[in-house]
Amino acid sequence: MGRDEIDLDEYRAELERTSLMRQEFTANASHELKTPLHVISGYAELLESGMVREEDIKVFAGKIRAEAMRMTKLVEDIIALSRLDSGGVGMKRELVDLYKVAASAVEALTEAARTAEVEISLCPAPERPVLLRGIPHALYSTVYNLCENAVKYNVPGGKVSVTVETSEDGAAVLTVSDTGIGIPQEDLQRIFERFYRVDKSHSKEVGGTGLGLSIVKHAAMTHNARIEVDSEVGRGSAFTVRFP
Ligand code: ADP
């Protein structure tokens, strides 16, 4: 067999894999979007019928708003993923201070952490700035999603600590560790898959879409970064992202 034939076979197999992944993603995304839509139209129908008691109107409106918010988050995540899917083409790279990015993500999550009774802290600013050339928005999404998960999958009284440093070999390293519920060993390989959740009802309860870590994985890939996860059920998790 000639070299070209082998390459063509591989190319065809790759195309098939990609097409299958796309189909699967579209099916999953449609399903995820349909669920909140059903809930919204169900409640709207009840309100329309005029049979809802006065005191329940507010409750139903609240449920409609919550489901609409879920849909918005889902659509935002899908857009973020599809932009990263193209390898960040058209997304401008700039010199980014990773510590500043972490500081603004932590700041944005202060209120959510307080509500969850979780203490979130960021290490002191490194003496020398941790700089890397990257896509600012994708880097922010990476830190934000990891910190948000560390808060969401935590327990009251738990802690989240975020560190940014330069390793001995000159890599920019971000670590997000928590004292939360942890991830079972058998799920560790799969949490970066789109829509994969260890506990679907818990994820929905805390406002998860199942796309957060896929966004993190894609953003890391776009920056040639490596992700490591260390986790123990009942003790917590630590995610490390190493940017070369
Ligand atoms: P979600 O939107 O459901 O949070 P993610 O893609 O961000 O989706 O994460 C996938 C799943 O991985 C989550 O549903 C959760 O089960 C698990 N997970 C992610 N981060 C953590 C963490 N820090 N501690 C425990 N479980 C986690």
78-90, pLDDT tens digit by residue? 999 988 887 777 7
pLDDT of 141 strictly over 80? yes
Task: Report whether pLDDT(173) > 90.
Answer: yes
Question: How far, in Å, is the centroid of ligand 1 from the Cα of 182?
Answer: 9
**CA 196 / ligand 1 centre spacing (Å):** 8
143 within ligand 1 shell (Cβ under 6 A) = no
Distance 13 CA to ligand 1 centre (A): 31
Tell how far the Cα of 235 is from the centroid of ligand 1, in angstroms.
Answer: 15
Q: What is the pLDDT of residue 204?
A: 82
Is 2 a residue whose pLDDT tops 60? no
Q: Is the pLDDT of residue 4 over 60?
A: no
Q: What is the mean pLDDT of residues 105-134?
A: 97
Pick the atom of ligand 1 nearest to 77's CA: 2
**What distance in angstroms lies between residue 183's CA and the mean position of ligand 1's atoms?**
8
Q: Which pLDDT band holds residue 37 (cuts at 50, 70, 90)?
A: very high
Amino acid symbol at 116: A
In testing the pocket of ligand 1, which one of 75, 185, 203 has its CB within 8 Å of the most ligand atoms? 203
Closest-CA residue, ligand 1 atom 8, reads 210
203 CB near ligand 1 (under 6 Å): yes
* Res 33: pLDDT: 94
Distance 186 CA to ligand 1 centre (A): 14
Distance 11 CA to ligand 1 centre (A): 33
Residue identifier of the C-alpha nearest atom 14 of ligand 1: 197
pLDDT digits (tens, 9 = 90+) for 213-241: 999 999 999 999 999 999 999 999 999 99
Binding site membership of 158 for ligand 1 (Cβ less than 6 Å): no
pLDDT for residue 87: 72
Residue 143 to residue 105: CA distance in whole angstroms? 6
Distance from C-alpha of 50 to C-alpha of 77, rounded to nearest angstrom? 36
> What's the whole-number average pLDDT of the chain?
93
Q: Which domains does the chain have, with CATH numbers?
A: 2-85 (1.10.287.130), 94-243 (3.30.565.10)
Residue 36 CB less than 6 A away from ligand 1: no
Please give the share of the chain, as a percent, with pLDDT higher than 70: 97
pLDDT beyond 80 at 159: yes
